[in-house]
């Protein structure tokens, strides 16, 4: 039996904590819950869904982060991202999952994905 319920926390290296926090708060709705000034880390939470740890580094590497959204909200998310002046690609069909996704980048060049699993996902036993 697997007791894991899902992925909760992801650490994301960034150049500027304040700029990165503003981006994730304004666009995605994260809220700052803790600052570790000694390590230059900032903890952000999205309700009970996820924790994002922004870690300031001089030369951050680029990563990919996917957040799950509801199928019927994908269009609204696309408009919201575009209204923030951010280039957004998609929705792109991912039949092998199956899902549809939007892709965009944060200020540090990390590729962010908003993924909406469709009803066929449940039919595939996932």
pLDDT for position 84: 96
Q: 77 and 54 share a domain?
A: no
pLDDT for position 8: 85
Q: 30 and 7 share a domain?
A: yes
Q: 55 and 68 share a domain?
A: no
**Range of 2's domain?**
1-60
Angle at 97 between CA 105 and CA 43, to 5 degrees: 40
pLDDT digits (tens, 9 = 90+) for 59-108: 989 999 999 999 999 999 999 999 999 999 999 999 999 999 999 999 99
pLDDT for position 120: 64
Q: 124 and 68 share a domain?
A: yes
Q: 3 and 45 share a domain?
A: yes
| Euclidean distance between CA atoms 31 and 98, whole angstroms | 30
Q: 52 and 67 share a domain?
A: no
Q: At 46, which CATH number?
A: 3.10.180.10
Is this model's pTM higher than 0.85 or not? Answer: yes
Average pLDDT, the chain: 91
Q: 40, 60, 80 — which closes off a domain?
A: 60
Q: 74 and 123 share a domain?
A: yes
Q: 36 and 70 share a domain?
A: no
Give 121's pLDDT tier (boundaries 50, 70, 90).
low
What is the number of domains present in the chain? Answer: 2
pLDDT for position 4: 62
pLDDT for position 118: 85
Residue 90 tokens read as 């998609």
Residues 28 and 10 sit within 8 Å (Cβ to Cβ): no
Residues 114 and 101 sit within 8 Å (Cβ to Cβ): yes
């Amino acid at each position: 039996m697997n007791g894991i319920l899902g992925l909760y926390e992801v650490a994301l290296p960034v150049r500027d904590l304040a700029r990165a926090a503003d981006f994730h708060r304004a666009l995605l709705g994260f809220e700052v819950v803790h600052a570790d000034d000694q390590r230059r880390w900032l903890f952000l939470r999205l309700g009970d869904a996820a924790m994002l740890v922004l870690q300031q580094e001089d030369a951050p590497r680029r990563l990919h982060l996917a957040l799950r959204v509801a199928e019927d909200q994908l269009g609204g998310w696309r408009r919201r991202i575009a209204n923030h002046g951010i280039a957004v690609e998609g929705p792109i069909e991912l039949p092998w999952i199956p899902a549809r996704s939007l892709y965009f980048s944060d200020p540090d060049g990390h590729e962010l994905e908003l993924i909406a699993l469709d009803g066929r996902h449940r039919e595939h036993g996932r």
